[in-house]
Amino acid sequence: MTTPETIAVAMSGGVDSSTVAAMLAHGGDSVVGLTLQLWDQTRLAGKHGTPDAPGSPTTGLRRWGGEAPKAGRCCSLDDVYDARRVAEHLGIPYYVVNQQERFERDVVRPFVAEYLAGRTPIPCSLCNNHLKFDQLLQTARSIGAGRIATGHYAVNEYDPARGRWILKRPADLAKDQTYFLFGLTQAQLSRTLFPLGRLTKPEVREIARRHGLALAEKPDSQEICFIPGGDYKRFLAAYLEEQGEELPETAGELLSSGGQLLGRHDGIFNFTVGQRKGLGISSPTPLYVLNIDPASHRVTVGADEELATRDLRARRLNWIGIPELTGPMRVKIKIRHRHEAAWATLEPVSPASAGADEVLATFDQPQRAVTPGQSAVFYDGDEVVGGGWIA
């Protein structure tokens, strides 16, 4: 029986979300466990050299707690099994909800399109926006649960002074996932719980152990959930072939920053800004990808120093800490998940109408490898001010 106070916990079969389910269930809340089935792991398994899916007959059974398995990948059949067992242990109802079509449309396809356009995408942020928060909340409401809870390391709270929900960095900065959560709306934040926000990972594992969860020792999943082995190039090839589409021809020239022709390449999707390996050019000094031009297929490379830029533009913005940017603001900006936030001045770019849809960020110090397709997330101390996509 659900009530508006019922909480739907998004369960991935990992330690974090399992611990959240345990904490809430034992805390006396009415809890329902949900796993979003987003991608059929067997779909491209073994094609174009992609690894077999876990749980397929040739990979054998996973056992953990005993022998240490390889690092996991989220949401395989084994993970659904683990999530289900946790739900049963906690005595909560559990469902697997199929959202494969939406995931493919809103996450996978844009991912492919971004690479083919010479940008480096982050599917996890899109997934959060569209699936984990939008769809999951809809699903939760449809079964009568008023709120969701996830295992993200982040803190959200309501600030009555500003009349807004705010998002802050968690206690365990090494696990900080706020970079991927910049797109959350006020509506989403008001209905989401992040119970792990003030805990460290070791503390979370300890809580899991105390609740008798056998998966307390399960390794964290490190990869993009739909790309086995992390090899996105094989994924692109396998996916496009499956769709009956041709990998577009994007071979072209490799140029120096001075415009000198250094060689040719096979396709722009092989490169990302800041990349050093795989250029196919011999050079006395290391060369890095500076720029990828999707129109001309030209890839420009240069020395390390040339990778640094002073500014970036970000679009399709979402604001959390403030309703909108009306004038210049001093913030620290992360341009990658693994990047130390750097000071910058943020300014709206647009004719002076309300709600700039583009900002210009000028860093105090030049930043290395600003990459189109990644997100730029703006912080004010611990708080996420907002963020957008690097143009």
Partner 1 sequence: MRPRVYMDANATTPLLPEVVEAMRPYWMERFGNASSIHLDGQQAHAAVDRARETMAGFFNCHAAEVVFNSGGTEGDNTALFGLLRPGDHCITTSIEHSAILQAAQRMAQNGVETTFVDPAPSGLIDPAEIERAIRPHTRLISVMLANNETGVLQPVEEIGKIAGAAGAFFHIDAVQGAGKVPFDVRRFGCHLCSISAHKMHGPKGVGALFVRRGTPIEPLLVGGSHERRRRAGTENVPGIVGLAKAAELAMLSLEDGTIPRLAALRDRLEKGILALPGTGVNGARQSAPEGRHENSPGQAQRSPGKDANNDLAPRRGAANSFVHHNLGAPAPDFGTWESANPIFNDCHPERPRAQRGGVEGPAVASSNGIPVPRVANTTNIWFDQLEGEALVIALDLKGVSVSGGSACHSGATEPSHVLMAMGLDRNRARASLRFSLLKTATEAEIDYVLQVVPQAVEHLRALSPAAAGTLG
Residues 3-32 that bind partner 1 (CB under 8 A): 32
Residues 62-91 that bind partner 1 (CB under 8 A): 77, 80
Secondary structure (3-state) at 289: strand
> Any idea what the Cα angle at residue 104 is, between residues 131 and 334, rounded to 5°?
55
Q: Which of 142, 260, 282, 353 lies at the binding interface for partner 1 (CB under 8 A)?
A: 142
- Please state whether beta strands 383-390 and 94-98 pair in parallel, antiparallel, or not at all (unpaired): unpaired
Is position 124 annotated as part of the catalytic site? no
Rounded Cα distance between 213 and 69, Å, is 17
Identify whether the C-beta of residue 347 lies closer than 8 Å to the C-beta of residue 359: yes
Distances (CA, A) of 321 to 83, 150, 159: 34, 21, 9
Residue with tokens 């992040």: 194
Annotated catalytic residue, options 74, 75, 124, 127 = 127
Site string for partner 1, 165-194 (x = CB under 8 A): --------------------xxxx--x---
Residue placing its CB nearer to partner 1 in the complex, 101 or 340? 101
Q: Which of 12, 17, 19, 129 lies at the binding interface for partner 1 (CB under 8 A)?
A: 129
- Please state whether beta strands 31-37 and 94-98 pair in parallel, antiparallel, or not at all (unpaired): parallel
Residues in contact with partner 1, counted by CB under 8 A, come to a total of 32
Q: Is 141 in the site for partner 1 (CB under 8 A)?
A: yes
Rounded Cα distance between 271 and 266, Å, is 10
Q: Which of 119, 130, 218, 336 lies at the binding interface for partner 1 (CB under 8 A)?
A: 130
Q: Is 46 in the site for partner 1 (CB under 8 A)?
A: no
Residues 330-389 that bind partner 1 (CB under 8 A): none
358 beta partners? 315
Identify whether the C-beta of residue 230 lies closer than 8 Å to the C-beta of residue 223: yes
Q: Which of 46, 89, 97, 306 lies at the binding interface for partner 1 (CB under 8 A)?
A: 97
Q: Which of 200, 256, 291, 318 lies at the binding interface for partner 1 (CB under 8 A)?
A: 318
CA 22 to chain centre: 25
Q: Is 243 in the site for partner 1 (CB under 8 A)?
A: no
**Which spans of this chain sit near partner 1 (rule: CB under 8 A)?**
1-2, 32, 37, 40-42, 77, 80, 93, 95-98, 100, 129-130, 133-134, 137-139, 141-144, 185-188, 191, 318
